[in-house]
């Protein structure tokens, strides 16, 4: 076997170049804002401006709509590198993809032409409204309604756990349009925060990702023209699930980024910290921890990139790989950040060092876009159906 046979396992040069560019930008202009965003809960506007100026705020938007046209792997790398510096800021490109993916998958040409260019230009952000107070993992039990009214729809209901709510201008909203039809009675619409009847709850008081606002979104007789419908009536739930197949890859990338930042910081610390007359990096117990952390991170990254490739191609086994990447990478991130805190001892437990923030930020990756318990159900069903 020739050396060239192994090229398939190398990251393409263009993607390595993207990684280097994003890392340089984030080290200089995103990382310095991370602690402040966490401490105050303020949306990191300076980080957003830096990402927007470099076209990393929504890199997945196709070129025909004014975007950078990044493929799924490049987008995952952007999210990974931003998360390495600041998990809250990584939700800018991640949620812009989440919110717009239904349009890319099922929207009409007119809907895409109206709503994707403002996101590409950085004039608006896009959020995703699926979960409700009594419909989280069981999203098909949603109660938000959209009823026909003339040539449009009237929307009423509430959505919960909406990332970047209040900051985003646009929202993909899933609502029941045919009661009793379960998953086949749900449709999707684009709603603007400027629409009459749209309002927001107070920001949630969260464990982590504090710089990314999470709020309820209320719809009180919101009139939506039919031109803002995404796909045919009754296809919204299928679009929502197809979207998550793709965007679970971005959560995996976020988890990889958080873990990468934690391991990098811990490596620097253990080489500098001296006990018993030598760096603690020289102790075998520390080395075993580092080896396990590195092994988990490498495996998570490779699985995430494999899932990104399937997302780009739209492979039949994307559902399995998206769930596997999200589940494995987020579990790895939680383990790696916890060990990183341990490596710093008492210092790791204080806010003077970034690892306790990274550990708190990592936890949400095991929960949102489908808990890891749900991901295991998804994977098992795929395996039982002969996919995976």
**Domains along the sequence of the chain with CATH:** 8-120 (1.10.540.10), 126-234 (2.40.110.10), 237-384 (1.20.140.10)
C-alpha distances in angstroms, 161 versus 52, 164, 211? 25, 9, 14
Tokens of 166: 């209040």
CA-based nearest residue to 234, from 183, 159, 173:
183
What value does the mean pLDDT take over residues 275-300?
A: 98
Strands 198-200 and 126-129: unpaired
C-alpha distances in angstroms, 39 versus 146, 212, 352, 361? 39, 12, 11, 13
pLDDT digits (tens, 9 = 90+) for 6-61: 455 688 999 999 999 999 999 999 999 999 999 999 999 999 999 999 999 999 99
C-alpha distances in angstroms, 308 versus 73, 199, 255, 311? 5, 35, 14, 5
Tokens of 372: 């890891």
What value does the mean pLDDT take over residues 107-122?
A: 98
What value does the mean pLDDT take over residues 269-288?
A: 98
Would you say residue 74 has pLDDT above 70? yes
Residues serving a catalytic function are 369
Looking at residue 281, its pLDDT comes to 98
Looking at residue 10, its pLDDT comes to 84
What value does the mean pLDDT take over residues 101-116?
A: 98
Q: pTM of the prediction?
A: 0.96
Would you say residue 282 has pLDDT above 80? yes
Looking at residue 388, its pLDDT comes to 79
């Amino acid at each position: 076997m020739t050396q060239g046979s192994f090229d398939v396992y190398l990251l393409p040069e263009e993607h390595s170049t993207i990684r280097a560019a994003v890392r340089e930008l984030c080290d200089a202009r995103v990382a310095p804002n991370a602690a402040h965003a966490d401490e105050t809960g303020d949306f990191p506007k300076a980080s957003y401006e830096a990402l927007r100026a470099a076209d990393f705020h929504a890199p997945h938007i196709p070129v025909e709509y004014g975007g950078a046209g990044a493929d799924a792997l490049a987008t995952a790398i952007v999210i990974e590198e931003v998360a390495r510096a600041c998990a809250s800021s990584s939700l800018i490109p991640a949620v812009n993809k989440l919110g717009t993916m239904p349009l890319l998958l099922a929207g009409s040409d007119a809907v895409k032409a109206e709503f994707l260019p403002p996101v590409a230009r950085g004039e608006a952000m896009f959020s995703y409204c699926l979960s409700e107070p009594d419909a989280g993992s069981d999203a098909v039990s949603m109660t938000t309604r959209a009823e026909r009214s003339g040539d449009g729809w009237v929307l009423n209901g509430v959505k919960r756990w909406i990332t970047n709510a209040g900051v985003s201008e646009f929202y993909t909203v899933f609502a029941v349009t045919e009661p009793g039809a379960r998953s086949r009675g749900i449709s999707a619409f684009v709603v603007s925060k400027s629409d009459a009847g749209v309002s927001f709850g107070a920001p949630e008081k969260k464990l982590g990702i504090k710089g990314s606002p999470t709020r309820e979104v209320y719809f009180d007789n919101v009139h939506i023209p039919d031109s803002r419908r995404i796909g045919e009536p009754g296809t919204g739930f299928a679009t929502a699930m197809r979207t998550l197949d793709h965007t679970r890859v971005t959560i995996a990338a976020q988890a990889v980024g958080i873990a990468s930042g934690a391991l990098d910081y811990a490596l620097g610390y253990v080489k500098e910290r001296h006990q018993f007359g030598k760096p603690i990096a020289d102790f075998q117990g520390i080395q075993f921890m580092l080896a396990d952390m590195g092994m988990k991170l490498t495996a998570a990254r490779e699985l995430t990139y494999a899932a990104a490739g399937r997302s780009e191609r739209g492979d039949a086994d994307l559902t399995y790989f998206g769930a596997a990447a999200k589940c494995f990478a987020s579990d790895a991130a939680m383990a790696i950040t916890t060990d990183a805190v341990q490596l710093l001892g008492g210092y790791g437990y204080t806010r003077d060092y970034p690892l306790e923030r990274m550990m708190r930020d990592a936890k949400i990756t095991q929960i949102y876009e489908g808990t890891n318990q749900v991901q295991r159900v998804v994977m098992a069903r795929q395996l039982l159906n002969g996919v995976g």
